[in-house]
Structure 1
């Protein structure tokens, strides 16, 4: 693995396997990073400005996901209302509780 993108992707996979949140996206199991305002996500001592719940997943896992897709995280159901690839290999799915 000489390519930085490949190495970074491999590291993402290992980190997600250990630290990622389990989710179902239209019935398909994925791992990502779930954030919601009621969980009071913080960066150091500063609270983040997250308003809507979101699940950030790798671009490869986001292929085929569309607005209206069903997402389940920790037994709670959501609907995808926005898809915002960030250009770094990650795609945050903006969610709405259902």
Structure 2
């Protein structure tokens, strides 16, 4: 077994047990990933902006199934669950892809 196959097997277990689910456009099955909404909180002068940057981290093959500007539905309880616009995709440095999100009004 090569290294990539070993890592793919580990990803299957980790995403299957610990992952969150999201619905992607045109897919019947939910996609498993990891949702996070860290506070960035950059300061502008003395004003704390308290910005959140929600993201849904998925495997590259799953990231290929969604385009920037599409809507995904994260299946979590409030305040994190709901509909989000995919703003952009970026590698997260671990072989996965982070979908950077914007909450829909």
The within-5 A match list for 1:3-82 is: 3-28=2-27, 29-37=30-38, 51-73=52-74, 74=76, 75-82=81-88
Tell me which residue corresponds to 2:97. Answer: 91
2: CA distance between counterparts of 1:7 and 1:88? 15
Give the TM-score of the pair, scaled to structure 1.
0.77
Pairwise CA RMSD of aligned residues? 1.9
In terms of fraction of residues, the more helix-rich structure is 1
1:16 match: secondary structure = helix
After superposition, what is the alpha-carbon deviation per residue over 1:13-59, rounded to whole angstroms, capped at 9, x for unaligned? 11111110011122531000000136xxxxxxxxxxx9410000000
When structure 1 is superposed on structure 2, of 65-74 and 86-95 the one drifting more is 86-95
Q: How many residues align?
A: 86
Which structure: larger Rg?
2
What is the distance in 2 between the residues matched to 1:36 and 1:57?
A: 15
Q: What runs of 5+ residues in structure 1 fail to find an aligned partner?
A: 39-49
